[in-house]
Structure 1
Amino acid sequence: DGEYLYGVDSTYIAQIDPESGQVTGVRIPTGLNPCYCITWDAEDELFWVSSVATDIYGIDREGNRVSSVNNDRRFRMSGIAWFEDDPDGYKLYTINNLRDDDGNSFIRLIKVNPEDGDAITVADLPALEGERSGGCSFCNEIYDFTWAFLVQMQAAEDWLRVYEASSDFYWLNVEPLEGYLAPDEDMDISMEFSTGDLEANETYRAYMQISHNTPVEGPLWIDIVMNVTEADHGVSSEADVPLEYGLTSVYPNPFNAAGAVSFTLDRATSVALTVHDLTGRQVAVLADGYMSSGAHTVSVDGSGWSSGTYLVRLSDGSRVSIRKIALLK
């Protein structure tokens, strides 16, 4: 959750101090016996838990069941994972150890919409004889431009399999994706937008990360926002879309040292963009001064911070917008 690790211990969720590796005194009941699978939904602050063939339950920090997904004999789970960036809203992923008609083992990856329980098979992954999948997770610290899906494999020895989870940015094409610039040179980067298969009256967002070897610490982040209008199903200009004041995104979240905070201003004004720990202590000033209306993106350098949850605060003197950000090292 940005501060502690959690694992299932029979019928309870056990809290683990990542610094010492020791189990704390916090034990959250799951209502399952045994409970095998666990994942964390940071947006709603819910644990999702299950056994092999049970329903999947969303529980709060007190152990109250606040949501559930019926199994209906669809899943035989060895692990579950939460993917906040799933383009279809099917954020709950399950891995299932199965055998085909010839008795060969394979792993079926199924994603589930936690709102209505609808499920889609994503892929059938190969498994060697005698190996089974265990836990699974998503991670954005392996590849620069996409998420990775990690599966713990169990056999005589345990290891991780890493799969590239494709980014669903089919509406955006960027060229070139890499290049070399000598001192005092320029390069043009083109972006092509396509709205053919997109829903009208929706906002679509992507992020461009530019890695470099300049003295500026950390990568550069560019926030790409496309608003699709119903009138022409095309890309609207910024002038066509009413601007709203507030923080729009913190990416990636959780982040490891380097990240980006995006926000919009509905008018030109003086703003302060600051970061605070959960006690309210200010740990960083990201921006402080007069800024024009429109969309803005500011880099975050958390290399000197401790792992944990922080609050990003945007204020123009009369209005405040706050978002949580988690630092994992």
Structure 2
Amino acid sequence: MKATKRQYAYYTGMFMILVVALYGIFLLTGKSFIWEGDGLAQHYPILEKFYTWLHQGSLTGWSWDLGLGADKLTTFSYYVLGDPFSYLIAFFPKGRLELGYNLLILLRLYASGLAFLFFARQRSFKPASQLVGTLDYTFTGYSLYVSIRHPFFLLPMILFPLLAYGIDHVLSGKSWIPLAIFTGLALISNFYFAYILALGSLVYAVLRYLAIRQTVSLPHWRVLWQLVGAGLTGFLLAGVLFIPSLLGVLSSTRATANFANGYWLYPLNYYLRFPNAIITTGNPLQFWVNLGLSGLTFLALVFVLRHFRRYLWLNISLILLMVGVLLPAV
């Protein structure tokens, strides 16, 4: 228990140091985390409206303040209703909402590291490796980019390690309840995130099972049943918010758009700029493909690929990821 507390304390201390180093430029220049694009046009006004509804105790129903009139639940389920961090804005004075917006970004970032450390501690990694991996995961280029542009896009960085933890829990012969709870959180958070996280979790579950199948004590059919049962239970837990938001999406104009915008392949400049995007923070590839790996991660990739047979299933997952980012459909 002391070792666990010490590990989380180390992470917290390093997180604070890196936050000051990376985000301190905003304080030095007197700027907010609110992006002048969607941040100013969507995210902050939505949070401000959500703040009013929280204090009025009215988060559902019809509102004539939304355009020509719209349903609150289906309109805001994509942004704030399924984001547990958004509810913390209620504790800030009305005149300090901008401060609350900024602090909630850092809190989401901190939680993503906590989730990864929680996942990593169930494995046999050394404490130093857990800490370095957690910091590398927390401050990846994607996280730094979306924390300012679309703060709630940090939620998948929190949820995926939790889902992976739940899957590992089942494969090790333990309870499926954590996976059901984390699945419910993923479905509530955002229908788009739920869709992406479901695909990622499915791939992770298959590859992880193949990697440790010789040590799995439960019968194969029971493992499958527990994984499916956890998913169904999570769906039932989240249905009160997930189903209305899904129905709203299916009736929206975006639902009729061409799959992958009609692309079979990306434009040529996408592939030409791909090598530069591997360790570059930002969005140089367009199409919302953002890698921004740290130098340490890049060296680790080279190492595991060099020892292909030793890290067989990890390398297979890396190859699948590489192929995926080259195809618009993925």
The normalised TM-score by structure 1 is: 0.26
The structure that has the greater radius of gyration is: 1
Higher relative contact order, structure no. (Cα contacts within 8 Å, ≥ 6 residues apart): 2
Higher fraction of helix: 2
Higher fraction of strand: 1
The normalised TM-score by structure 2 is: 0.26
